[in-house]
Amino acid sequence: MPVTARMAKLPGRNLILTCSRDDQKQQALQEIGFEIYQLADKNARLDLHAVMNFLAQQQINEVLVEAGSILNGALLAEGLVDEWVVYMAPCIMGDQGRGLFTVPGLQQMADKKQLKLLDVRQVGQDLKLTYTPIHNND
């Protein structure tokens, strides 16, 4: 988070959860209005279970995440999402475009993650697809 971030001035709490040990940057971010919380890490990234536990302690019961493939993949692998909402635009990026999920080790059909389609809607030219994960014991 840059120390020039304007969102620090928005009303309400502005929380940054980190596993970084950069005390100087954390101090600078606190000075402009962010609340900084140091959480456990897993493989040099935030431990997502620790994040969810922290949010629950803060009485935050609903989290909307707009993420790239790495965070999406981590959330999928950890089973931390109740519902996936995917917007699909009518365009093709090719094989060099970034995918929705980066999940190392998912290379065989036997390892696939199953989703159940709940809803399909057209939003302008895009499709809005709503899924729920299917767990192995479902």
Q: Which residues of the chain have pLDDT under 50?
A: none
The pLDDT of residue 27: 95
Per-residue pLDDT reduced to its tens digit, 6-24: 999 899 999 999 999 999 9
Give start and end residues of each alpha helix (H) in 1-138.
23-31, 48-57, 69-78
> How far apart are alpha carbons 48 and 51 in whole angstroms?
5
Q: Which of left, alpha, beta for 61 (phi over 0: left; psi -120 to 50: alpha)?
A: alpha
| Global confidence as pTM | 0.83
The pLDDT of residue 135: 79
> How far apart are alpha carbons 15 and 68 in whole angstroms?
20
Per-residue pLDDT reduced to its tens digit, 84-105: 999 999 998 888 888 889 988 8
The pLDDT of residue 124: 97
